[in-house]
Structure 1
Amino acid sequence: MALFPGRRPKRRTLVGTLAALVLAGSAAVAPAAAAAIPGQDEVVKTANMHHLANIPKPPVFSGTGSYGTDWAFKGNYAFAGNYDGFTVYDISKPAKPQIVTVVKCPGSQNDVSISGNLLFLSTDSSRSDDSCQSVPKPATEKDAWEGIKIFDISDVRNPRYVKAVETKCGSHTNTLVPGKKGTAYIYVSSYRPDSTFPDCQPPHDLISIVEVPLNNPQAAKLAAEPVLFPDGGNPGDKKDYPEGTSETSGCHDLTAYPSKNIMAGACMGDGVLFDISDRLKPRIIHSVRDDENFAFWHSATFNNKANKVVFTDELGGGSTATCNAAIGQDKGADAVYDIVGKGDKRKLVFRSYFKIPRANADTENCVAHNGSLIPVKGRDIMVQAWYQGGISVWDFTDSRKPKEIGWFERGPLSNDQLILGGSWSAYYYNGYIYSSDIQKGLDVIDIRDKATDKGKRVKLDVLNAQSQPDYFD
């Protein structure tokens, strides 16, 4: 869920930079690869992936810098983040989704999660204040603001902004972790400190935890700032961008499995397994590194039994073309780890890499990105976004031999230059795949395959992909 995570510009001026982002792309594509690359904007897919609908971004978010980001789901509604706010969709008829309302509230990247009637929105760009009318303000100024905003969504047609909590280095992503009855904890991931930023000082080896009384969100507060890497974490290396390993100075994304009291952390240079029995004191069980092939540990997904974790490597920050022969199949990929042992003796053991087998043009940003499980009992299957590499459904039941089941993608947004686009997040919710495309808006896909059809029987009331449910408990 990051852009330029490894070598990005000064964070707090990033929104203005990204809003104008049009990177010059190389026109050189190997002849064999070019023959397999779809035409500009051409939709190609496997026969089992049925494209039911596309709803373009609403007019207020139509600019190329208004990037579509992450999803949260509740009942018959989908909530889609955008660098300029969020959109609520009615998905009661998946083949005919409708926009219910649009909330304009700039503050990249506006990741979303939901608990009860509350929606939590991440602000990771330095703003003049905590309102939805704020404007960019340099992070070098002490009174600049960024952090978590809280909305009441009991009336989905009129979300109401009720509270904000400032956090160090902002909130790049947020993870909902339920606490005792009536309380939610928001684990805030942020990174890239700078000695010139008063509220984001190095080494920043911590996360922020916001405690929210669900019946009194006005009382939400910063409850803890646990240091996760007292030894400093991975120091990184000096290799040329985009392939150098990032230093660890915070976490990019945290995926909790609350019912099992564990969490997987994608923390820049480190992949981490945590015990979260004490919600305010996450504790490292085991951590791993892959300095040969992983540039930036970006996100994580458990299988339902919680004996495997899929970590993603966001090589190039999501803004470069990495799905090609030059980069190869082991970089910008997923890494499948088994979790072996019990209790505090659990360890992450590497088994394999998985990367989409299709070549992309040099004008297409493509790398492993956000996905979720498809709930098929006895199988480990997930759907995943790959930016302009499209959407992939793949099976990692055999963690040593993952295989693709189906895929959907569009041809390049441009044949002449790299325009940031493609699927940011692709999640499976109540029988359908919902993709948040950076430029194209909402896509709804129905996968009809004997390997995944049983997943249609599983229904949820709420889905935050970074707070995994136990589908078969």
Structure 2
Amino acid sequence: MISATLRGAVSAAAVVLLATACAGGPPASGEPATSQQETSAPNSTSAPSTAADGVTTSDNVKQVAHLPRTAPFDGRDDINTDLAFQGDYLFQGNFGGFSIYDISEPAKPARVAQVACPGQQNDVSVYENLLILSIDEPVSGPGCDADDDERAWEGLRIFDVSDKKSPRYVGAVATDCGSHTHTMVPAGDTLYVYVSSPGPEPDSRTCPPPHELIQIVEIPMSAPQSARVVAKPDIFPERQHSDLASGCHDITAYPEKKLAAAACFGDGVLLDIADPVRPKVLQQLTDTQNFSIWHSATFNNDATKVVFSDELGGGGQATCDRNTPRTKGANAVYDLVNGKLELRGYFKIPREQQRDENCVAHNGSLIPVPGKDIMVQSWYQGGVSVWDFTDSAAPKEIGFFERGPHQPPTVAGSWSAYYYNGYIYSSDITEGLDVLEIDDPLTDPAKKVEMADFNVQTQKSY
């Protein structure tokens, strides 16, 4: 999410820029084909149905559980954010801290712990006994008792979650401009963490210019309290900086393939991470016509494709309407051919949203179907979409879940939607945690794939 976290970078002028981008014209002729969808009607293989509570789904998707937010994470500013998984546990970030759920029975998830540790945006990942949080707003210090008075620290916080009922704070690492998101790259007894953040802010104590594109934190697994920044590679020194900010929003690593894809402010970048401390640029992608904020990236299972998403409007605008071209605020599908990414097509949800529903492509993951390229993805108030990009030039939606417009109008909806061991888990900004199940011939083979853990920014083959 950008609207709440770019801080000084998203100025009033930038908001005008985004509004102008929303009103842009259709793509020029000769561009890769978009999926053939209409904005006024679903293009799913299943007909929609509406429940009594206003939830609408395709008939191949059902909601099997819902847990609303509870104290201390039920205030106006307690926004639910990202998800991570380990064994029978789900970890959910929140601007107020993080929660741990027992999902051994997916239809009956149970809260195990809630840790109050305020920080924007508290994106979360888990590796072995460690949990890592991204803090992207200056506070007075690294501990959970920090306040907003001095505003002299931001970066990563590290917890020991060996005891799921009683997580223990073990340390922190300050990073320039904080950490909007982070990506884990395990290497033996060392965990490397790529930190993505926007910046700079010339008058800031924590985000001075110039702002390196990414920072790499080294965490010794035997002594996580000694974690430190070991590199600040400028992964593309000749890039065209966005009018919003420099830096990167999100990086997805695929250590088995020695590749990473970075979604940066103004560019997409393909990286060689054979040496995780010295990533090398393989290719830069720039699309000034259709992409505003390169938000995230997803490899397909065999790393022959990359899906880049565009968070037009920063997550706070209604871009899933008939006035916004279908190549904006969408996903771009690239094929990796002879070591180079080539644009093939675009995907955007086919269900038009109302003008007060913030909607744009956001966090998603592969559904592990052997031989197919299928994703589940959050779209804020556009809900959760399951879509097939096996044909890169003609991706299509095959299922969905969404609520009606939030009342009163506000930024709401699904922040992250991921598939894990037979179920889809959606972190809803205001409503809590949803557990969904899809029953479809295209996705059913995924139910046979068992994952021991899952952090979406660190892909593993299945």
TM-score, L = length of structure 2: 0.90
User: How far has the Cα of 1:134 moved from its partner?
Assistant: 0.9
Find 1:347's aligned residue among 318, 323, 340.
Answer: 340
Q: Match for residue 241 of structure 2? A: 235
- Whole-Å separation in 2 of the counterparts to 1:145 and 1:12: 20
Equivalent residue in structure 2 for 1:194, among 184, 201, 225: 201
Where do 5+ consecutive residues of structure 2 fail to align? Answer: 12-38, 43-47
Shift of 1:329: 1.1
Matching residue of 1:460: 451
Q: CA deviation at 1:328?
A: 2.6
Counterpart of 1:23 in structure 2 is: none
**What is the identity, as a one-letter code, of the residue corresponding to 2:96?**
D
**How far off is 1:248 after superposition?**
5.5
CA contact (8 A) 1:40 1:411 kept: no
User: Once the two structures are superposed, what CA deviation does each residue of 1:311-352 show, in whole Å capped at 9, x if it has no partner?
Assistant: 0000000011111011131110000011111xxxx2111111
Post-superposition offset of 1:115: 1.0
User: Is the 1:248–1:270 Cα contact (8 Å) retained in structure 2?
Assistant: no
1:362 is matched with: 355
Where in structure 2 are the equivalents of 1:59-458 lying within 5 Å? 59-137=71-149, 144-179=152-187, 181-231=188-238, 233-236=239-242, 246=243, 249-341=246-338, 346-414=339-407, 418-458=409-449
Q: In structure 2, what is the Cα distance between the partners aligned to 1:335 and 1:34?
A: 21
Amino acid across the alignment from 2:199 = R
- Which residue in the other structure is 1:242 paired with? none
Quickly say closer, same or farther: Cα 1:11–1:60, change in 2 above 3 A: farther
What is the CA–CA distance in structure 1 between the aligned matches of 2:383 and 2:287, rounded to whole Å? 25
Matched length: 430
Structure 1 CA distance for aligned equivalents of residues 92 and 164 of structure 2: 13
Deviates more, 1:55-64 or 1:146-155: 55-64
Q: Which residue of 2 aligns with 1:25?
A: none
* CA deviations over 1:111-146 (Å, ceiling 9, x no partner): 01111100001111100111101112465xxxx000
SS in 1 for 2:225: helix
CA–CA separation in structure 1 for the residues paired with 2:291 and 2:452: 35
Query: 1:58·1:102 contact (CA, 8 Å) conserved in 2?
Result: no
SS at match of 2:153: coil
- Measure the CA separation in 2 of the matches of 1:205 and 1:40: 50
Distance in 1 between residues matched to 2:50 and 2:288, nearest whole Å: 33
**Cα distance, 1:90 vs structure 2:** 0.5
Of residues 379-388 and 221-230 in structure 1, the stretch that sits farther from structure 2 once superposed is 221-230
- The amino acid across from 1:10 in the alignment is G
Residue identity in the other structure for 2:390: T
Question: Aligned partner of 2:306: which letter?
Answer: V
> In structure 2, do the counterparts of structure 1 residues 365 and 38 end up closer, same or farther at CA, with 3 Å as the change threshold?
farther
The Cα offsets for residues 274-293 of structure 1, whole Å up to 9 and x where unpaired, read as: 00001101111001111111
Query: Which residue of structure 1 aligns with residue 30 of structure 2?
Result: none
Kindly indicate whether the alpha-carbon contact (under 8 Å) linking 2:9 and 2:244 is maintained by their aligned counterparts in 1.
no
Q: Distance in 2 between matches of 1:38 and 1:326?
A: 26
Deviation, structure 1 residue 202: 2.5
Confirm or deny: 8 A CA contact 1:38 1:410 kept in the other structure. Answer: no
Q: Percent same amino acid among aligned pairs? A: 54
In structure 2, distance between residues paired with 1:12 and 1:390: 25
Q: What's the CA shift string for 1:447-470, capped at 9, x where partnerless?
A: 110000010111111100000011
Provide, for residues 242-292 of structure 1, a one-character-per-residue CA deviation record: whole Å limited to 9, x for no partner: xxxx45511000000011110000001001100000110111100111111
Q: Which whole-Å CA distance do the structure 2 matches of 1:377 and 1:461 have between them?
A: 18
**What is the CA RMSD across the aligned residues, in angstroms?**
2.1
| Distance change >3 Å, CA 138–CA 128, structure 1 → 2 | closer
Q: Which position in structure 2 is the counterpart of 1:2?
A: 2
TM-score normalised per structure 1: 0.87
Task: Give the superposition deviation at 1:229.
Answer: 2.4
User: Counterparts of 1:93 and 1:10 in 2: how far apart (Å)?
Assistant: 43
Q: Which amino acid aligns with 2:175?
A: T
Q: Which amino acid aligns with 1:148?
A: L
Matched residues in 2 for 1:421 and 1:131: separation? 28
Which segment is superposed worse, 110-119 or 41-50?
41-50
Partner of 1:18: none
Deviation at 1:2, TM superposition (A): 2.7
Q: Deviations over 1:86-108 (max 9, x none)?
A: 01011000000011110010011
Aligned counterpart for 2:55 among listed residues 43, 46, 70: 43
Show structure 1 runs of 4+ deviating over 4 A.
32-41
Distance 2:198 2:367 in 1: 30
For residues 240 and 311 of structure 2, the distance between their equivalents in structure 1, rounded to whole angstroms, comes to 16
